[in-house]
């Protein structure tokens, strides 16, 4: 990407991975970019914080070599040396037993005793549907999935698979990736995590997933604690109002990328049509609470985490052994374990004090993984409770059709473009790729001719 008509000034609202990627690609093309971020740190849902020597990922924690746009960005930014291999082995709990599966090698799924032979034969339908969906899936813009978005994941699993695959594969996938039950998720949405997860090894960064946004921030101009309140455009440019510490600022620029979660967009972009406004406001982001324990000794477990199907626990969604993500997550010889919960548990606990959340989290762990809970009780020296009001986007059946109508309604020549996981699905690489697309759209039109 090179600028054909000289450098322009672009404002990016939001320093999550979507905004930071758009900013990096625009700078790389020769433009001057200012990023406005309402928090005092970059990263959004791709953030790692340090606590007592532990690196705690607050949101995203798992990255894959299937994330080709991310790997390319790391290379282009001279950050490829940050990439560390990571494990892609997950355990699934069934009747008190953990079945370990290496998602990098799907052939292992044929041998696993997690599923009966009958289910393995039925899974051929899943592979067929996945193959049909694959050409329609595009990381930065999932509107192509509209073509096959005809039913919810529960109806699809009953029709095409069987109860065992619904309970021990589709339900944990929907809960894990969307924090929602299969009936509340589009069937094509349930296929997307498989498309994104299977067949590739995982990678990570020693100091946590937030490394990427943090290192990009070192190359960009970021205004912290800067909350955008209004972004509008006219024939000669964009006008951005933003606030810091109660003071209002007004900046004119040539273009703007708005990279905040979808439902927040209508609050700051008044020039949306009524339909666009309705669509964005109705997007359903599910809240999340993560409880992460720092441990004087790591539990002995090679997997990255255990998934807990709803049949095995109504509260606990899973645990991750974050010290297995990379060496740098925990101080030498120590362990870092996170507990993840279903939406109903999160709803009940969202407003509770941290002490109550931690006690109830340990209670849920004790019921499902008594040995692990005992280990945490014996070795805990640190705990972080993090709440996300808007964690993961759950798109219902037909949600990709609505997405397609929305993306078609965006004027490609507009000086305001959008980026974020709401244009795709909730994954770092999807948000990143949407940031690249926003930068490309601005390059192709608004920044080229004015
Ligand atoms: C609990 C959890 C677990 C996840 N696990 C994974 C995982 O393992 N792997 C994976 O790939 N993905 C995972 N994801 C999904 C992934 O983190 C997100 O899809 C992705 O990071 C979204 O990036 P984004 O830039 O679109 O949005 P965000 O990260 O939300 O960034 C938006 C930014 O905009 C800022 N902002 C908002 N309003 C304003 C304003 N008015 N003015 C200025 N700034 C503003 C926000 O503060 C934020 O920094 C997870 C997410 C969560 C929450």
**pLDDT string in tens for the chain (450-residue length):** 444 577 799 999 999 999 999 999 999 999 999 999 999 999 999 999 999 999 999 999 999 999 999 999 999 999 999 999 999 999 999 999 999 999 888 777 788 999 999 999 999 999 999 999 999 999 999 999 999 999 999 999 999 999 999 999 999 999 999 999 999 999 999 999 999 988 899 999 999 999 999 999 999 999 999 999 999 999 999 999 999 999 999 999 999 999 999 999 999 999 999 999 999 999 999 999 999 999 999 999 999 999 999 999 999 999 999 999 999 999 999 999 999 999 999 999 999 999 999 999 999 999 999 999 999 999 999 999 999 999 999 999 999 999 999 999 999 999 999 999 999 999 999 999 999 999 999 999 878 766
Could you give the 3-state DSSP secondary structure of residue 290?
Answer: strand
Nearest atom, ligand 1, residue 267 CA: 41
- In the chain the first and final C-alpha atoms are separated, in Å, by 17
- Rounded (10°) angle between helices 428-444 and 17-28: 40
Protein residue whose Cα sits closest to atom 27 of ligand 1: 16
Q: From atom 20 of ligand 1, which residue's Cα is the shortest distance away?
A: 428
| Whether the Cβ atoms of residue 87 and residue 63 lie closer than 8 Å to each other | no
> How far is it, in rounded angstroms, from Cα 280 to Cα 284?
9
Minimal CA–CA distance to 141: which of 437, 416, 428?
437
The angle formed by the CA atoms of residues 307, 42 and 276, to the nearest 5 degrees, is 80
Rounded to two decimals, what is the model's pTM? 0.97
pLDDT of residue 449: 66
Length of the chain: 450
The predicted pLDDT at position 450 comes to 63
Give residues (CB < 6 A) around ligand 1. 13-19, 36-39, 44-46, 59-62, 227-228, 259-261, 264, 268, 288, 290, 388, 391-392, 420-421, 426-429, 431
Please say whether the beta carbons of 58 and 289 come within 8 A.
no
Closest to 322 in 3D by CA, of 286, 342, 345, 298: 298
Annotate 427-449 with DSSP letters as a single string.
SHHHHHHHHHHHHHHHHHTHHHH
**Contact at 8 Å (CB) between 37 and 222?**
yes
Which tokens sit at 125?
Answer: 């339908």
| Separation of CA 60 and ligand 1 centre (Å) | 8
- How many angstroms separate the CA atoms of 48 and 37, rounded? 16
Helices (H), strands (E): how many in the chain?
17, 20
Residues 6+ apart with CB under 8 A from 141: 407, 423, 424, 433, 434, 437
Return the best residue to mutate from 60, 222, 284 for the ligand 1 pocket (most ligand atoms within 8 A of CB): 60
- 153-160 helix and 187-197 helix, angle to the nearest 10 degrees: 80
**What pLDDT, on a 0 to 100 scale, did the predictor assign at position 1?**
41
Residue where the block lists tokens 């109860």 = 163
Nearest by Cα to 339 from 284, 394, 299, 390: 299
What is the full DSSP assignment across 325-361?
T-GGGSSTT-EEEEEEE-HHHHHHHTTS-HHHHHHHH
C-alpha–C-alpha distance, residues 76 and 12, integer Å: 20
Report pLDDT for 4. 52
In whole angstroms, what is the distance from residue 362 CA to residue 358 CA?
Answer: 6
With contact defined as beta carbons under 8 Å apart, do 262 and 283 qualify? Answer: yes
At 112, give phi and psi (nearest 5°).
-60, 145
User: 314 phi and psi, to 5 degrees?
Assistant: -85, -15
């Amino acid at each position: 990407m090179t600028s054909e008509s000289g450098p322009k000034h672009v404002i990016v609202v939001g320093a999550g991975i979507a905004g930071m990627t758009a900013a990096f690609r625009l700078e790389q093309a020769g433009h001057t970019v200012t990023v406005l971020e309402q928090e005092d740190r970059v990263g959004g849902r791709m953030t790692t914080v340090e606590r007592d020597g532990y690196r705690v990922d607050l949101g995203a924690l798992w990255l894959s070599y299937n994330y080709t746009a991310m790997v390319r960005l790391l290379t282009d930014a001279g950050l490829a040396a940050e990439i560390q291999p990571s494990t892609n082995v997950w355990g699934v709990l069934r009747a008190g037993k953990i079945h370990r599966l290496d998602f990098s090698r799907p052939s292992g799924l044929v041998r696993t005793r997690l599923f009966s032979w009958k289910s393995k034969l039925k899974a051929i339908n899943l592979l067929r549907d996945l193959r049909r969906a694959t050409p329609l899936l595009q990381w930065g813009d999932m509107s192509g999935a509209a073509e096959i978005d005809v039913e919810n994941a529960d109806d699809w699993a009953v029709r095409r698979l069987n109860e065992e695959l619904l309970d021990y594969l589709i339900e944990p996938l929907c809960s894990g990736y969307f924090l929602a039950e299969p009936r509340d998720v589009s069937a094509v949405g349930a296929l997307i995590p498989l498309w994104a997860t299977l067949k590739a090894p995982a990678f990570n960064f020693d100091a946590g997933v937030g490394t990427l946004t943090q290192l990009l921030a070192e190359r960009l101009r970021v205004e912290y604690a800067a909350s955008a309140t209004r972004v509008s455009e006219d024939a000669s440019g964009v006008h951005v109002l933003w606030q810091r510490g109660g003071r209002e600022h007004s900046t004119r620029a040539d273009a703007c990328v708005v990279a905040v979660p979808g439902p927040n967009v209508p609050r700051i972009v008044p020039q949306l049509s009524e339909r666009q406004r309705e669509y964005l406001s109705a997007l359903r982001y599910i809240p999340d609470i993560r409880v992460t324990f720092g441990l004087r000794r790591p539990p002995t477990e090679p997997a990255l985490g255990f998934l807990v199907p709803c049949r095995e626990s109504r509260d606990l969604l899973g645990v991750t052994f974050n010290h297995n993500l990379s060496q740098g997550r925990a101080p030498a010889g120590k362990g870092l374990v996170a507990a993840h919960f279903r939406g109903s548990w999160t709803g009940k606990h969202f407003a509770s004090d941290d002490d109550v959340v931690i006690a109830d989290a340990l209670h849920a762990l004790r019921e499902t993984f008594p040995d692990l809970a005992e280990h945490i009780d014996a070795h805990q020296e640190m705990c972080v409770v993090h709440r996300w009001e808007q964690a993961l986007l759950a798109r219902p059946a037909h949600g990709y059709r609505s997405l397609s109508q929305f993306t078609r309604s965006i004027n490609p020549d507009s000086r305001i473009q959008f980026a974020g996981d709401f244009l795709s699905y909730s994954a770092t690489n999807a948000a990143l790729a949407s940031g690249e697309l926003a930068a490309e759209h601005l390059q192709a039109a608004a920044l080229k001719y004015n």
